[in-house]
Structure 1
Amino acid sequence: MTKRKHKDNRQRLLIAQQAAKILAKSGNRDFLAAKNKAVERLGILDKTQLPTNIEIERALIEYQRIFCGDEQPQIVFSLRQAALKAMKLFADFSPKLVGSVLAGTSDQHSPVHLHLFADTSEDITVFLIEQRIPFEIGEQKVRYGHDVHEFQPTFNFYAGDVRFLLTVFVSHGKKQSPLSPIDGKTMPRANTMEVEKLLVSLT
């Protein structure tokens, strides 16, 4: 390995580790913002050798393993339990778990992110009102290809200390999973039965 290649790899590792630390301490999962902040903190001027989101996610997993000990797996387990309970509540909308709770990289700040499927977003609004669950409405940009994206409605609410983020797909979302913002591949999604199996595997 040349000195230049070694230096580039070292820089990518340092940025990935710093970005992972930022993600772990901030609680959000904005990889791009964490990467930019890491570059700024490290005072790196050469931005031609930046880590990928996959490299940052690996560094985050390693950071959690070293510094969070037994606490982080318990948090993941608790959030998956909360996810399963919510998925049973939203059973009529074919819920699927996505994001950091599914990936196992969540922390106490992470929301439980569910994909729901309905004829209209108003169906979710009515259901939440009937369940007397206070909520906030937003939207999320979902990518299906290099230049193919849609804005899907979202609903945010809290159950105790757990924040839930519901992204509602009202068209082809159930058949075609969107792309992951981390690696650009098809986003992993787990149905109720798969989440139950995950919980069993952790006991």
Structure 2
Amino acid sequence: MRQDRREKRSHKGHPRGDDQRRLIAIEAARIISELGVRDYHQAKLRAAERLGIDDERDLPKNVEIESALKEYQRLFGGEAHIERLAQLRSAAIEAMRYFARFEPRLVGAVLEGTADEHSAVCLHLFDDNPDGLALFLDERGIPYEQIERRLRFGRDDEADVDAYRFDAGDVTMDLTLLPLDAQRQAPLDRIDGKPMRRANLAAVQQLLDESGSR
């Protein structure tokens, strides 16, 4: 009985489990929002180090960080966050029209509403010609950085694909080129491991219209 009381006092003085995960998630959300760290795993490791928590069992899941990030932006983002999100969604609509031949889909933070001043507009484009997008950009004189990105489509199904990044004014565009059949099967989201949510032009326009009417 005395041992039980000692254990309860210890837990009260040094929060464990859910409490520590919550603290790390909140700090990770601050790091992501204020410092522009886009990697959730890196953000939670930095948050745990800052809080002096070294037990990996206390690290929150990515979905917990995503939830904390939405709460952080709701509490501290204010009108600036709302205006920046609208700006990014407007830029996404313009880009989707420009790249219409590639049947673009919006993904990521701009779609989910967690975007901030550090976020890029992320689009999935589709073409069976692996050089199609590079040729399109070259023909229009758009300078870009080409990178390789690994996506997961299932537990044992990964693929390396090309992605292209460039700045359009004060907005960074991030375009991932996928084969046409990838329109039917979205890659798995790094946050929850489920098929990534994607939106076509009409759906993004509706999001922008709804946010403007509030």
TMscore range, shorter length: over 0.9
Which of these residues, 127, 133, 136, is aligned with residue 124 of structure 1?
133
1:14 to 2:7 alignment? no
> What is the Cα deviation at residue 121 of structure 1?
2.5
1:1-203 matches, within 5 Å, as 3=8, 7-170=16-179, 172-203=181-212
> Where does the alignment leave 5 or more consecutive residues of structure 1 unmatched?
none
Q: Who wins on radius of gyration, i.e. which is larger? A: 2
> What is the Cα deviation at residue 146 of structure 1?
1.7
| Cα-to-partner distance string for 1:125-157 (whole Å, 9 max, x where unaligned) | 111112221111111110111221101100111
> What is the Cα deviation at residue 171 of structure 1?
5.4
The sequence identity of aligned pairs, in percent, is 46
Please tell me the residue identity of whatever aligns with 1:175: R
TM-score (norm 2): 0.90
CA distance in 1, matches of 2:172, 2:34: 17
> What is the Cα deviation at residue 102 of structure 1?
0.3
| Cα-to-partner distance string for 1:38-80 (whole Å, 9 max, x where unaligned) | 1111111222122110110111111111111111011111000
Structure 1 segments of 4+ aligned residues over 4 angstroms from their partners: 2-6
* Native 8 Å contact 1:28 1:110 kept in 2: no
| Cα-to-partner distance string for 1:3-62 (whole Å, 9 max, x where unaligned) | 569731110100000111110112232000001111111111222122110110111111
Please tell me the residue identity of whatever aligns with 1:39: A
Q: Which structure shows the bigger proportion of residues in helix conformation?
A: 2
* Native 8 Å contact 1:23 1:29 kept in 2: yes
